[in-house]
Amino acid sequence: MNKRNWKRVLHGMAGVMVAVGVTYACKDFLDTPTQGTLDEATLATRAGVEGSLIAAYRSLDCSSSSAGSWGCAASNWVWGSVPSGDAYKGSNLGDQQPINSIETYIWSVGDADAYLNQKWSQAYEGVSRANAALRLLAKVRAEKPGEVSDADAAGIRGEALFLRAHYHFEAYRMWGNIPYYREDDTDFRKTNVGVNAVAEILTDLNEAITLLPATPRNLDKGRATSWAAKAYKGRVQVYAQDHAGALTTLREVQTSGVYALETSFDRVWTGFLQYRNGRETILAFQASAKDGEPTGWNSNWGERLNFPHSGSHFGCCGFHQPSFNLVNFYQVDAAGLPLALAGPAWNTPTPDSNFAGGILRPVDPRLDWTVGRDNVPYKDWTLHNRSWIRDASYSGPYSPKKNVHEQAADAEGNAGQGWQNTQTNDVPILIFRYADMLLLLAEAEVEVGVLENARTIVNQIRARAGQVAQGCGSADTVVTNRYPTCAGDTRMAVPLVQNPTLDSLTTPWAVYRIGLYATPWTDQNFARTAVRYERRLELAMEGQRFFDLRRWGGADTVIANYVNTEKNRIPYLTLAAAFTLPKYALYPIPSVQIELSRVGTEDRLVQNPGW
């Protein structure tokens, strides 16, 4: 396993202090210049233990270098969105070619292998940092009794175990067959053969549940709690197809009332401080853009490419562009339900279509909180414009939107912070949120046959989605010249007409409509489809879909259908490799990691089948 030097670890510890709201005093320790070696005498204090734990949280997002960081973004946009049909690589042909190889399922080439190694290294860097915190905690407790109280020691251990479980789960979702590292391991060349990763992850989470407090330690939002660990346990159980176990776990979290949906969808991904780390957040990377760190490294670094290109306020770089397939999927029928439920007619626009504002085809209001479309207000930044797209002939006319801060939020990095400070923001990167958890619970309800519980959950998600739609956002001349009714109306979010079964709103740029499932669900196949469709609508562009497709089964058919349609819209998809199972059931393990695992002539890491 690649291990970064401690100088970089200490820099990460110092840089992320503000990002997670740490309140203990350790300034002198963190300001001490490092020489690339570990000074255990300095670290062996309560402050050192806490700082080591913060370093483990820091690995939730890229923390390696300013170049080549996109494969380890907290959102998994490279691995969970781009190969799934939700998004194209974006930008143009020549930029970040490895992501093009990943998008077209050519995963065995060297550039894709290098990106895979970024993800592997980041996951196991997080594991390494969590284990370092555990070892240091044990050392301080043994050598300096009373330095760390019993309650804090339990909390620190619980947080480190939670993080260790999360990083291993990230690796498990990617590669399935992974080694598992604990704090007492001394040989890092461990095998992945015969390892029950799910059992190991659940062991860590179960211990974390018993150790962690119900509320964040030190009242620091962003820290793991016993409820976060329990929700995460249910997530792992669903991935492991233990639906009965997940039902018990996730129902307990649901009925606890600890988490809740944000009151409206615009408050989920946002830079507004008053909604940051709201009741929907279970686990997030706590991005920080105005903390004195000069390069923007603590901000939303893994998402920095994913803004509209030059011509927009943001200036760069046009990656992670929503697909035609995703945009079309938001179409609804007269009842406000997904048009996709009726069959393939939902994907009918012509190959060169630009579903821009003013084409009044009814859509789910979540479309315009997720996707930037021409002539539709882009949050409160004026109208999205085709000129913002770096190369629309290459990757279509749409821009990502969830990760983008609002103009009025004061969430943007300061001038000079990084190469383009307009891309840096402190929008938390939501790794696991309550709506995601509820939909996992709905899946479990369907699989055990309690269909009405699943319908209730889906309707709860849809009712929240029906609260508000994209408003004018700005009354600048670009907006008002095209839409005179926006003069004087700068509301970014406007309410839909509230109706027990159907919420709707017609604006000059869109017809927003969303309805509830009014008829009881009696068919398991229909219920399963409805829940899966809801996951796509709710979690689009959040790095979840590809992992969903693989665990549901039939990913080869879904992706083949996607490529066969989209290659008529995005020409380079004609070069996509055939996505076949079981080969593509797992990503290939990076070749350099296999080489590093070698002992004599034996590779202790064994490559996944087909690669």
Q: What is residue 16's predicted lDDT score, i.e. its pLDDT? A: 34
**Using CA of residue 353, residue 357, residue 360, residue 361, what is the dihedral sign?**
positive
Q: Which residues pair with 515 in a beta bridge?
A: 502
3 state SS of 239: helix
Answer yes or no: are the C-beta atoms of 383 and 377 closer than 8 Å: yes
CA distance 47 to 32: 13
Give the residue carrying structure tokens 């895979």: 116
CA atoms within 13 A on the CB side of 493: 17
For residue 329, give both structure tokens: 């999927």
3-class state of residue 39 by DSSP: coil
Q: Where are the beta strands (DSSP E) in 5-107?
A: 87-90
Q: Judge whether 73 and 551 are in contact, CB under 8 Å.
A: no
Cα 64 to Cα 120: distance, rounded to the nearest angstrom: 12
Residue 418's pLDDT is 75
Return the H-helix or E-strand segment holding 432. Answer: strand 429-433
Domain spans in the chain, listed from the N-terminal domain onward = 301-575
- What's the chain's length in residues? 611
Q: In this structure, what are the phi and psi dihedrals at residue 284, rounded to the nearest 5 degrees?
A: -145, 150
The rounded distance, in Å, linking the Cα atoms of 360 and 472 is 16
In the three-class reduction of DSSP (H, G, I as helix; E, B as strand; rest coil), residue 337 is classed as: coil
What's the token pair of residue 463? 């009712």
The pLDDT tens digits for 477-533 are 999 999 999 999 999 999 999 888 899 999 999 999 999 999 999 999 999 999 999
Residues 6+ apart with CB under 8 A from 67: none
Q: Which helix (H) or strand (E) holds 431?
A: strand 429-433
pLDDT in tens, 29-58: 223 333 334 566 678 999 999 999 999 999
Task: Give the angle subtended at the CA of 452 by the CAs of 450 and 457, to the nearest 5°.
Answer: 105
The residue assigned the tokens 């709905």 is: 442
Whether the Cβ atoms of residue 325 and residue 541 lie closer than 8 Å to each other: no
Just give the CATH number of 301-575.
Answer: 1.25.40.390
pLDDT band at 65 (very low <50, low <70, confident <90, very high): very low
Rounded mean pLDDT, 190-209: 98
SS3 561: helix
Three-state secondary-structure class, residue 497: strand
Structure confidence at residue 21 (pLDDT):
32
Average pLDDT over residues 5-26: 31
- Give the percent of the chain with pLDDT over 90: 85
Instruction: Give the alpha-carbon dihedral of 277, 280, 282, 287, to 10 degrees.
Output: -30
Give dist(CA 251, CA 322) in Å, integer: 33
Residue 411 exposed, middle or buried by CB count within 10 Å (0-12, 13-18, 19+):
buried
Q: What is the pLDDT of residues 455-492, one digit of tens each?
A: 999 999 999 999 999 999 999 999 999 999 999 999 99
Tokens read off for 270: 């946002």
pLDDT exceeds 80 at position 261? yes
